[in-house]
Amino acid sequence: MDAGLLLQYLVVALAVLASAWVVLKKQFPGTVRKARGVVALRLLRPGRAGWLQAMGRRIAPPAGGSGGACGGCDSCGPTAPKR
């Protein structure tokens, strides 16, 4: 296999993975948040290497005060009236 063709396949695969991630985040925000939490907890276990724990802190979803019904952006409430 030609090196140029392999590089082309890698670029296409990365583009497909990136677009799949965007669709997951838009369509299933609660599922993505749960998956990020599970992965982060596994990486933050005591005794793991420092770089793994740092990656776990980076992957962890941001702490939310009151979770919305869908686990998403919490912007589904009423909007403030314009003046």
Q: Is residue 36 situated within a structural domain? A: yes
pLDDT 10s digits, 13-70: 999 999 999 999 999 999 999 999 999 999 999 999 999 999 999 999 888 655 555 6
- What is the structure's pLDDT at 82? 75
Query: CB of 63 within 8 A of CB of 36?
Result: no
Burial level of 55, CB count in 10 A (0-12/13-18/19+)? middle
pTM over 0.75: no
Find the range with the poorest average confidence among 1-5, 17-21, 37-41, 73-77.
Answer: 73-77
CA 33 to mean position of chain CA atoms: 7
Q: Is residue 69 situated within a structural domain? A: no
- What is the structure's pLDDT at 75? 64
Residue of higher predicted confidence among 79 and 48 = 48
Domain holding 35, by residue range, is 3-59
Q: Is residue 79 situated within a structural domain? A: no
Q: State the DSSP code for 67.
A: -
